[in-house]
Structure 1
Amino acid sequence: MTAVKSPAECQTKEDVRAEIDRVDQALLALFAERHRYVTRMAQIKTDPHEAYDKARIESIVEKQRERAIGLDLDEDQVELIWRTLIDWNINYEKGIIVARRRAE
């Protein structure tokens, strides 16, 4: 296994690409973990309308915007990513809940 290189230690485009690939793999693993929790939430919820909670969504987005600023990231881009993720999760949860209710 090769050592992780900091951005400053990367000397070539290949070095940078290798590190981005490493980070992408870690991000996918985290998304998969998050997805398992979303799936569990969909199993707990009983009504498809529960999948959309405007107050909760706005709270999450605001928290992520604040975290982004603390990490020196563009908070607007982070908000876009999180709103996309949340929208996908809402649709996914609704689908699971509706399918379960039809099977009952």
Structure 2
Amino acid sequence: MSSLKPPAECASKADIRAAIDALDAELLRIFAQRQTYVRRMAELKQSPDEAFDHERIETMVASLTTRAEELGLEGEQAEAVWRTLIAWNVDFEKRTISARLAGGARDK
């Protein structure tokens, strides 16, 4: 994303909004790519109970929160985003695995 103006060079709200919009588009692309791995994980798991791994979640959130703070992002913001994302992923996996076991189509 080298085409973004550095924040200090943004002279207007429009400049800042354009940068945020470009970053949001990149975040969506990355989240969509991440989702392909979540789908694959749901294909590999054999039981809906496997979708929730408390130890993995807590380890992951702690690591991401620490890394976020190192990057200058408030840890609480990173934690809130990832906990929401993880909760959605757990629900998605449970639905997908349950549907597969019941002989239904995989959730999209």
What TM bracket, shorter-length normalisation?
over 0.9
3-state DSSP of counterpart to 1:66: helix
- Structure (1 or 2) with the greater helix fraction: 1
> Where do residues 16-55 of structure 1 align in structure 2 (5 Å cutoff)?
16-55=16-55
For structure 2, list consecutive stretches of 5 or more residues without a partner in the other structure. none
CA distance in 2, matches of 1:20, 1:32: 18
SS of residue paired to 1:103: coil
What's the CA shift string for 1:64-90, capped at 9, x where partnerless?
111011011111121111111000000
Which residue identity does 2:99 align to in structure 1? A
Instruction: Work out the percentage of aligned pairs sharing the same amino acid.
Output: 48
Aligned equivalent of 2:69? 69
Q: 1:79 matched to which residue of 2?
A: 79
Distance (whole Å) between structure 2 residues aligned to residue 27 and residue 15 of structure 1: 18
TM-score w.r.t. length of structure 2: 0.91
Paired positions, count:
102
The runs of at least 4 consecutive aligned structure 1 residues that moved more than 4 Å come to none
User: Higher relative CO (CA 8 A, sep ≥ 6), structure 1 or 2?
Assistant: 1
Q: CA RMSD for the aligned pairs? A: 1.0
